[in-house]
Structure 1
Amino acid sequence: MATRPISAEDHDRIAEAIRTAELKTDGEIYCVVARASEGYFFPAAFTTTIGLFIASLAVAYGLEGLWLTIRLPHFVLAQLLALASVFALLWFLPALRIHFVPRRLRYQAAHANAVKQFLARNVHRTQARTGVLIFVSIAERYAEVVADSGIDAKVGQHVWDGVVRDLTKHAGDNRLADGFVKGVESVGAVLAEHFPVTEGDTNELEDHLVEI
């Protein structure tokens, strides 16, 4: 997924796409992109610890098969040094951590962050409960559309899945900003179909992309 920073021009394009989409609907669209949804030090440390112990067993059996011996204190010391080295790498090179975390845990963390942002940004506080969050977490290669109850009751999950597919495809091509613009347009069309703009409609959420 894209790692290129989103420029000020990209922010302006996304904000304009949100404003344009909301001209046709009473719904509200909010966009958030996270560099990562979790630090992952402890999950990565746990995974690498298990891996090192398995490797230690393999080495021990290998030495025995070769009729070689090593004193137990030396063997334990080697294990501890290897473990300390791995922990130091994980601590000082955070980008390594996610590679040792199972995809299921990464997606769980990203989904939890999406829900957290949905609530923290008050997307659930719109008058007609028609707020929609478009969320991307770059490190996890994860995207999600979170819709409030008003719109979710009328729109099937397959619709949001289609938006996510387009968004992740753009992100995979290092065109994350274009993906957000396209996603906003798609979500806006869905909102306009089910909740067309009415007289007296007000803008309830800020029209911009938030980076966290």
Structure 2
Amino acid sequence: MITIEEQDRLTQIVHDLEANTAGEIVIVVANQAGGYRSIPLIWALLAALVTPWPLIWLTALSASRIFLIQLGVAIVLSFLLSLVNNRFALVPRVVKHARAHEAAHREFKSRGLIQTRERTGVLIYVAAAEHYAEIIADIGIAARVDQNVWNDIVHDLVTAIGEGRVAEGLDRAVQRTGSILAEHAPPRIDETNELPNRVIMI
């Protein structure tokens, strides 16, 4: 998704931008937000539930034979659909985005963004496989910036992800976030770097 050189560039950008603000920017890039292992099983069981009806209507097979066919359908489909590419394709978009949204909020809490002195931490989260991005601002900055501002940055970032320009999209999102933080959370005299600047890859 992002080369080592691109990660280093983003790290340097964050470092430079944070010199002009009391805010903290954390970038988390996930290959995908979840494994979705239950989805193939759900589809396989649904297919197994439907399987007996045409056999009952159109054949003279015994109930035990139909049950064995039904079981076989469930086993074979659950295996085939569990293959990574198949599994991901079966997940509805709304489920992907819900899972990515949950993952973003977990990362926000676990990366220390709620522990900054003035509560001005901002998470830029990307789940590449889901083509999903989210910006979460802590209460110290969220109260000062309209949500539509963040939504506009996210829209451009998601567009870049969809076009395979993850690093470029993140570069632009970080620059815009840094400008917002510089305006609404100027640096303190005793400013210190409270959180790591490196891009977190998971």
Q: In which range does the TM-score fall when normalised by the shorter chain?
A: over 0.9
Task: Write the deviation string for residues 133-157 of structure 1: whole angstroms up to 9, x where unpaired.
Answer: 0001122221100110000111111
2:100–2:130 CA contact under 8 A, matched in 1: yes
Structure 1: 4+ residue segments shifted above 3 A: none
Tell me which residue corresponds to 2:54: 59
TM, length-normalised to structure 2: 0.92
Hey, what's the Cα distance between the residues in 1 that align with 2:55 and 2:146? Answer: 55
Task: Write the deviation string for residues 14-47 of structure 1: whole angstroms up to 9, x where unpaired.
Answer: 1112112212211000000111222211133113
1:47–1:101 CA contact under 8 A, matched in 2: no
Match of 1:72 among 63, 76, 84: 63
Hey, what's the Cα distance between the residues in 2 that align with 1:125 and 1:10? Answer: 28
Hey, what's the Cα distance between the residues in 2 that align with 1:44 and 1:155? Answer: 41
Tell me which residue corresponds to 1:85: 76
Hey, what's the Cα distance between the residues in 1 that align with 2:104 and 2:68? Answer: 43
Letter in 1 for 2:148: H
Task: Write the deviation string for residues 26-69 of structure 1: whole angstroms up to 9, x where unpaired.
Answer: 10000001112222111331133213423x156336x53xxx43
Instruction: Check if 1:97 corresponds to 2:87.
Output: yes
Residues 58 and 136 of structure 1: CA distance in aligned 2, closer, same or farther (over 3 Å): farther
Residues 85 and 123 of structure 1: CA distance in aligned 2, closer, same or farther (over 3 Å): same
Residues 167 and 102 of structure 1: CA distance in aligned 2, closer, same or farther (over 3 Å): same
Gaps of 5+ in 1: none
* CA RMSD, Structure 1 to Structure 2 (Å): 1.7
Gaps of 5+ in 2: none
167-176 vs 16-25, which moves further: 16-25
Hey, what's the Cα distance between the residues in 1 that align with 2:150 and 2:48? Answer: 41
Match of 2:102 among 112, 125, 148: 112
Match of 2:32 among 26, 36, 47: 36
2:108–2:123 CA contact under 8 A, matched in 1: yes
2:44–2:75 CA contact under 8 A, matched in 1: no
2:30–2:201 CA contact under 8 A, matched in 1: yes
TM, length-normalised to structure 1: 0.88
Q: Percent identity?
A: 35
Hey, what's the Cα distance between the residues in 2 that align with 1:42 and 1:142? Answer: 21
